[in-house]
């Protein structure tokens, strides 16, 4: 009975990992779509260049490097959840 409960929890963890990873992919796709839809303008008045987006103010947060890092970390967290559940499942079967 305990083995069956463990197996069902591991399956639920793997499904949750797939959902988390899919959410990260959706964030990454949103980043790319906004980047393609609203080009970035390069301005070099001096030695130092400045990059500004033509996106509306409501979408400016997507161009933050932390948004890209968060989407990649979300994908990685989902993959870790899936791999951990599969590893525990193989250990439980042995």
Going from N- to C-terminal start, the domains of the chain cover: 13-93
Rounded to two decimals, the pTM is 0.84
Q: What is the pLDDT of residues 49-83, one digit of tens each?
A: 888 888 898 888 888 889 999 999 999 999 999 99
CA 39 to the chain's CA centroid: 22
Q: What is the Cα–Cα distance from 94 to 80, expressed in whole angstroms?
A: 21
């Amino acid at each position: 009975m305990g083995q069956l409960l463990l197996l069902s929890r591991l399956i639920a963890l793997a499904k949750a990992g797939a959902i988390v990873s899919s959410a990260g992919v959706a964030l990454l796709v949103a980043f790319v779509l906004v980047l393609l839809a609203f080009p970035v303008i390069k301005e070099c008045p001096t030695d130092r260049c400045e990059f500004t987006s033509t996106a509306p103010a409501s979408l400016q947060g997507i161009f933050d490097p932390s948004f890209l890092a968060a989407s990649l970390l979300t994908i990685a967290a989902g993959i870790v959840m899936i791999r951990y559940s599969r590893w525990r499942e193989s250990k439980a079967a042995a």
